[in-house]
Amino acid sequence: MAYTDPEVAWVGLTEDQAKQQGIKVKKGLFPWAASGRAIANGRDEGVTKLLFDDSPEAGSGDGHAGRGHGKILGGGMVGTHAGDMIGEIALAIEMGADAVDIGKTIHPHPTLGES
């Protein structure tokens, strides 16, 4: 966590660490310029990045089988209040959440948390 402006926060593996460990990852990016709340706040200069296990055998073991449905391995944010939101990614990693689980998580709208 870097308390800069905008804030920078990361938890779990980075792309480089995954590559060094021979783990194939799928990456999801969400630009905060697409967030209604970030736009309303006048602070849309941010991005959220999530890394998921994309190996052929990746799957959460709870019926979400197949590539692209591997568990979340890491994630980061650059933007206003990133430090307040990085805990949600940490919880997803700890709980073994996959892409489907993340997609099913409901957030109030519009909020930065849905970013």
Active site residues: 109
**Which bin fits 43, alpha (ψ -120 to 50), beta or left (φ > 0)?**
beta
Cα–Cα distance for residue pair 17/34, rounded to 1 Å: 29
Q: Which of 95, 96, 55, 92 is nearest to 75 (CA)?
A: 92
* Cα-based torsion angle of the residue sequence 89, 93, 96, 102 in order, rounded to the nearest 10 degrees: 20
Cα–Cα distance for residue pair 47/33, rounded to 1 Å: 8
Total residues found in the chain within this entry: 115
